[in-house]
Chains A and B, each alone.
Chain A
Amino acid sequence: QVQLVQSGAEVKKPGSSVKVSCKSSGGTFRNYALHWVRQAPGQGLEWMGGLVPMFRTANYAQKFQGRVTITADESTSTAYMQLSRLRSDDTAVYYCARGGEYQVRYTWFDPWGQGTLVTVSA
């Protein structure tokens, strides 16, 4: 049974960066896509990007291009999402979720991490 455990809540100043981790256990890490999805307070889900660790190249949502970097460390089965130039409207819960084998396209998201609250405030 695959389990994803994320790092703890963060409070950041506008203009700074945040890096959230997502450690995978209980299954194969390198073959399966790892995605990042965020949810602002009271809002719906928003896909930020994803990558298959063995291929190392991430796909990013156009909205976040240039501001988000998704990486993975196969030695520790951990994925990372770094978001830079933070603004107040980046305040959200950030989730990692496992996707399909060998691709970020199609398939579905299962399981999900528990979520990491990132608060951006002066």
Chain B
Amino acid sequence: QSVLTQPPSASGTPGQRVTISCSGSSSNIGGSTVSWYRQLPGTAPKLLMYNDNERPSGVPVRFSGSKSGTSASLAISGLQSEDEADYHCAAWDDSLNGWVFGGGTKLTVL
């Protein structure tokens, strides 16, 4: 059971906008920044978003992040087939004195 809660799956058609949620508490998301990672099958996770809503160099602008209270979201607009992957959220937890992750969301492009 992961400390951060993500939906196990999400889907959309090419061109659509999809949102993936990440729910936590005041000891993690509510008191820390959130980062997001994309993981293609059989590969290592890769940083997709940091500090809630900042994109690393090379990440397209159609990826955006937001946070409100103890929940965060990752939005992907103009969905493309290559966006099919697992998406994970993460945050530092002050109560656990450690990092916590969501269970991951498998995104399918129909």
Q: Do A106 and B104 have beta carbons less than 8 Å apart?
A: no
CA distance A49 to B97 in the complex (A): 10
Neighbouring A residues of B37 by C-beta, 8 Å: 45, 109
Report the tally of A-B residue pairs with Cβ distances under 8 A: 64
- CB of B92, distance to nearest CB on chain A (Å): 5
Q: Do B92 and A44 have beta carbons less than 8 Å apart?
A: no
Q: A105 an interface residue at 8 Å Cβ cutoff?
A: yes
CA distance A110 to B44 in the complex (A): 11
Q: Do B47 and A45 have beta carbons less than 8 Å apart?
A: no
Q: A73 an interface residue at 8 Å Cβ cutoff?
A: no
Neighbouring A residues of B47 by C-beta, 8 Å: 108-111
Q: Do B98 and A61 have beta carbons less than 8 Å apart?
A: yes
Cβ-closest chain B residue relative to A61: B98
CA distance A116 to B19 in the complex (A): 31
Cβ-closest chain A residue relative to B105: A44
Cβ-closest chain A residue relative to B44: A112
Q: Which residues of A contact B (CB under 8 A)?
A: 35, 37, 43-47, 49-50, 59-62, 95, 97, 105-115
Q: A47-B100, A61-B96 are in contact. List 20 more A-B contacts (CB 8 A).
A: A35-B99, A44-B101, A44-B102, A45-B45, A45-B101, A47-B90, A47-B98, A49-B98, A61-B99, A95-B45, A106-B32, A106-B92, A107-B50, A108-B51, A109-B35, A109-B90, A110-B56, A111-B46, A111-B47, A114-B44
